[in-house]
């Protein structure tokens, strides 16, 4: 595997391979000496154009525990602030010969775009806009693997801001590949158009979606991505209609677990007593996140790649195309 | 086409010889996944039935290998499990087949990440020659000479025996 752009690109076998590889790394983080030499001599750059605590930290820890050299760059301190283009930042970093670039950006498709121009660097998507967040889904699958052997036939109910959620989108793609089903629960203002084309059940009433769910997967309201203020009337009203509280948790089966990709807003999508209950797997998700990212980095740095390395002169091609277009106009 | 080079009777005798060499009041034994762990399991049983106290652990050395760049990650990694503190202990490291010595080198690296043992000794069921590192076993059940194109394997389905077959490069 050369890049990890999203769940869409992965086959069922590749997803299972990464989750199983992740499972073997869980134990490494529980040792007193949390270090293995697997990625010694590899360089990993975390390039984050959006704020992040757990994803960035877990990529950093994953790399460091496998002895790679990890560098973090956040947009607020990068040359982007001084007006450098995304492509120039990418090419500058690639010229320093890292093995892996981990990228988070607010615009969907950033990773695919950069990969076309940087033929020698492996790129991992750590979240691009509302498009995909593959390592979060692998994390969730690893967390659930510790409860059930296979997600096949299970029902994951995703509640909240589906419209802005890359996690929801990636789950919908993974569900089709792995054979679990997804229910989405949200007011119409927080649902993308035609979401049922992903093959999920759509609910507007949270209480109706709870019976039969194996996971209640809560999402944060991504107010920073909302372009208008009319997505929901008020926090209090949203909490009444779509917040997970003790009453709703009691309505679910006794084996139903609670998950959240974080960061969570207590009192909005989830109440404190549910978040801290024994049925909440939220902190297990964080632990599994480090292990899964170790697996992803190992798979990308590992040899045995059969794909030929593309030596593209993409930039020249793009400029020639622009010129040709200019002549036509 | 594989050929049995040691039958189950010879393997049984070799295991008994190894048990005699390992016997002491307290044995700390670490098996290398997966063949070495099986050998360690049977050694543990035999030692315990002769009255020794055995502390066991298993290592998967996949993350410590030196060939990630050439062959990629191992698809089936089993977790390492060392339930005792290795610091200050005299440890027997157990593997099924000793060949280049690279697995042992990786295992030594991993053990030292858990602590600082007083000593580590190596017990192997078969030494097939062909070392690429200055590593030798302290307790060896069986010896054979196998070429670079040969693969020597412990077969544990049914009666244990050792097979050798040529690998087509």
**Closest among A296, A287, A289, A297 to A67, alpha carbons compared:** A297
Span A251-277, pLDDT tens digits: 998 999 999 998 999 999 999 999 999
Span A60-83, pLDDT tens digits: 999 999 999 999 998 777 777 788
Give the per-residue pLDDT at A329.
Answer: 63
Optimal mutation site among B33, B63, B87, interface A, most CBs of chain A within 10 A: B63
The DSSP bridge pattern shows strands B2-6 and B161-166 to be antiparallel
Do the chains contact at A31 and B110, CB–CB below 8 Å? no
The DSSP bridge pattern shows strands A69-74 and A43-48 to be parallel
Cis omega (within 30 of 0) for bond into A263: yes
Burial track A40-61 (b if 16+ CB lie within 10 A, e otherwise): eebbbbbbbbbebebbbebbbb
How many whole angstroms separate alpha carbon A239 and alpha carbon A52?
Answer: 24
Residue A193: C-alpha distances to residues A64, A105, A159, A188 (Å): 41, 23, 16, 9
Give the fold, CATH level 3, of B14-145.
Rossmann fold (3.40.50)
* Shared domain check, A46 and A22: yes
Span B21-58, pLDDT tens digits: 999 989 999 999 889 999 999 999 999 999 999 999 99
Whether A52 shows a pLDDT value over 70: the answer reads yes
Q: What mean pLDDT comes out for the span A283-304?
A: 92
Whether B62 shows a pLDDT value over 80: the answer reads yes
Which residues in chain B are contacts of A36 at CB distance < 8 A? 63-64, 110, 113
Position with higher pLDDT, B169 vs A65: A65
* Shared domain check, A66 and A43: yes
**What number is the ipTM of this complex?**
0.72
Q: What mean pLDDT comes out for the span A140-163?
A: 93
* Shared domain check, A80 and A180: no
Do the chains contact at A302 and B67, CB–CB below 8 Å? no
A99 inside domain = yes
Give the per-residue pLDDT at B169.
Answer: 63
Q: Above pLDDT 90, what percent of chain A?
A: 72
* Shared domain check, A46 and A63: yes
Domain that holds residue A23: 7-132+289-304
pLDDT band with cut points at 50, 70 and 90 for residue A303:
low
Q: Which residue has the tokens 């990786």?
A: B106
Which residues in chain A are contacts of B60 at CB distance < 8 A? 24
**Closest among A169, A164, A174, A275 to A218, alpha carbons compared:** A275
Based on the number of CB atoms within 10 Å of its own CB, is A217 exposed (0-12), middle (13-18) or buried (19 or more)? buried
Span B114-132, pLDDT tens digits: 889 999 999 999 999 999 9
| Total beta-carbon pairs less than 8 A apart between chain A and chain B | 63
For chain A, the domain total comes to 2
Q: What is the CATH number of the domain that holds A228?
A: 3.40.50.1370
* Shared domain check, A207 and A163: yes
Nearest to A24 among B60, B72, B114 (CB): B60
**Is A111 touching B (CB cutoff 8 A)?**
no
Give the per-residue pLDDT at A304.
Answer: 55
Q: What mean pLDDT comes out for the span B72-79?
A: 71
List all residues of chain A from 45 to 84 with a beta carbon under 8 Å from chain B. Answer: 66
Do the chains contact at A303 and B69, CB–CB below 8 Å? yes
Span A177-196, pLDDT tens digits: 999 999 999 999 999 988 98
Do the chains contact at A20 and B75, CB–CB below 8 Å? yes
Give the per-residue pLDDT at B114.
Answer: 86
Give the per-residue pLDDT at B75.
Answer: 65
Residue A35 distance to chain B (closest CA, Å): 7
Optimal mutation site among A14, A36, A146, interface B, most CBs of chain B within 10 A: A36
Whether A308 shows a pLDDT value over 60: the answer reads no
Whether A31 shows a pLDDT value over 90: the answer reads no
| Contact by Cβ (8 Å): A135, A289 | yes
* Shared domain check, A152 and A247: yes
**Is A234 touching B (CB cutoff 8 A)?**
no
How many whole angstroms separate alpha carbon A8 and alpha carbon A14?
Answer: 11
Q: Above pLDDT 90, what percent of chain B?
A: 70
Give the per-residue pLDDT at A267.
Answer: 93
Domain boundaries, chain B: 14-145
When computed from its CA atoms, the radius of gyration of chain B, rounded to whole angstroms, is 16
When computed from its CA atoms, the radius of gyration of chain A, rounded to whole angstroms, is 21
How many whole angstroms separate alpha carbon A299 and alpha carbon A264?
Answer: 30
Residue B126, classed as helix, strand or coil, is strand
SS (HEC) of chain A: CCCECCHHHCCHHHHHHHHHHHHHHHHHHHCCCCCCCCCCCCEEEEEECCCCCHHHHHHHHHHHHCCCEEEEEEHHHCHHHHCCCHHHHHHHHHHCCCCEEEEEECCCCHHHHHHHHCCCCEEEEEEECCCECHHHHHHHHHHHHCCCCCCCCCEEEEECCCCCCHHHHHHHHHHHHHCCEEEEECCHHHCCCCHHHHCCEEECCHHHHCCCCCEEEECCCCHHHCCCCCCCCCHHHHHHHHCECHHHHHHCCCCCEEECCCCCCECCCECHHHHCCCCECHHHHHHHHHHHHHHHHHHHHCCCCCCCCCCCCHHHHHHHHHHHHHHHC
How many whole angstroms separate alpha carbon B59 and alpha carbon B54?
Answer: 16
Q: What mean pLDDT comes out for the span A46-59?
A: 92
Give the per-residue pLDDT at A97.
Answer: 94
pLDDT band with cut points at 50, 70 and 90 for residue B113:
confident
A313 inside domain = no
How many whole angstroms separate alpha carbon B134 and alpha carbon A232?
Answer: 70
Give the per-residue pLDDT at A306.
Answer: 47
**Is A18 touching B (CB cutoff 8 A)?**
no
* Shared domain check, A197 and A119: no
Q: What mean pLDDT comes out for the span B86-95?
A: 95
* Shared domain check, A160 and A97: no
Q: Above pLDDT 70, what percent of chain A?
A: 96
* Shared domain check, A77 and A38: yes
Span B64-73, pLDDT tens digits: 887 777 777 7
Whether A299 shows a pLDDT value over 80: the answer reads yes
């Amino acid at each position: 595997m050369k890049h990890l752009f999203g769940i869409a690109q992965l086959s069922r076998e590749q997803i299972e391979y990464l989750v199983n590889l992740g499972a073997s790394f869980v134990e490494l983080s529980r040792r007193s000496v949390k270090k293995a030499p697997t990625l010694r001599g590899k360089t990993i750059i975390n390039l984050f154009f959006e704020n992040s605590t757990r994803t960035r930290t877990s990529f950093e820890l994953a790399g460091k525990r496998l002895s790679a050299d990890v560098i973090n760059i956040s947009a607020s301190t990068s040359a982007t602030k001084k007006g450098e283009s995304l492509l120039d930042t990418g090419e500058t970093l690639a010229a320093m010969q890292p093995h892996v670039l981990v990228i988070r950006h607010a615009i969907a498709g950033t990773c695919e775009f950069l990969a076309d121009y940087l033929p020698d660097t492996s790129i991992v998507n750590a979240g691009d806009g509302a498009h995909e967040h593959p390592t979060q889904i692998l994390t969730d699958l690893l967390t659930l693997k510790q409860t059930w052997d296979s997600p096949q036939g299970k029902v994951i109910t995703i509640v909240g801001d589906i419209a802005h959620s890359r996690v929801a989108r990636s789950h919908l793609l993974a569900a089709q590949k792995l054979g679990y089903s997804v229910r989405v629960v949200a007011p119409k203002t927080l649902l993308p158009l035609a979401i049922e084309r992903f093959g999920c059940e759509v609910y507007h009433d949270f209480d109706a979606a709870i019976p039969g769910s194996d996971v209640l997967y809560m999402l944060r309201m991504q107010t920073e991505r909302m372009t208008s203020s009319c997505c929901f009337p008020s926090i209090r009203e949203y909490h009444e209609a779509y917040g997970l509280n003790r009453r709703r948790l009691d309505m679910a089966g006794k084996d139903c677990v609670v998950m959240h990709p974080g960061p969570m807003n207590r009192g909005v999508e989830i109440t404190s007593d549910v978040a801290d209950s024994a049925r909440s797997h939220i902190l297990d998700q964080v632990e599994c996140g480090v292990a899964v990212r170790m697996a992803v980095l190992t798979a990308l740095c590992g040899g045995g790649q059969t794909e030929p390395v593309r030596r593209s002169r993409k930039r020249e091609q793009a400029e020639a195309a622009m010129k040709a277009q200019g002549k036509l106009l | 086409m594989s050929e049995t080079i040691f039958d189950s009777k010879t393997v049984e005798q070799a295991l008994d010889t190894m048990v005699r060499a390992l016997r002491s009041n307290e044995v700390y034994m670490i098996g290398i996944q997966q063949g070495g762990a099986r050998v360690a399991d049977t050694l543990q049983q035999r030692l315990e039935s002769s009255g020794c106290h055995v502390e066991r652990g298993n290592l998967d050395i996949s993350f410590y290998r030196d060939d990630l760049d050439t062959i990629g990650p191992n698809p089936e990694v089993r977790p390492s499990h060392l339930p005792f503190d290795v610091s200050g202990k005299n440890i027997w490291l157990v593997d099924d087949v000793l060949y280049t010595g690279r697995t042992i080198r990786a295992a030594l690296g991993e053990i030292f990440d858990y602590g600082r043992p007083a000593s580590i000794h190596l017990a192997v069921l078969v030494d097939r020659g062909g070392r690429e590192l200055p590593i030798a076993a302290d307790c060896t059940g069986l010896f054979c000479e196998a070429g670079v194109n040969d693969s020597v394997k412990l077969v544990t389905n049914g009666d244990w025996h050792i097979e050798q077959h040529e690998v087509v490069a």
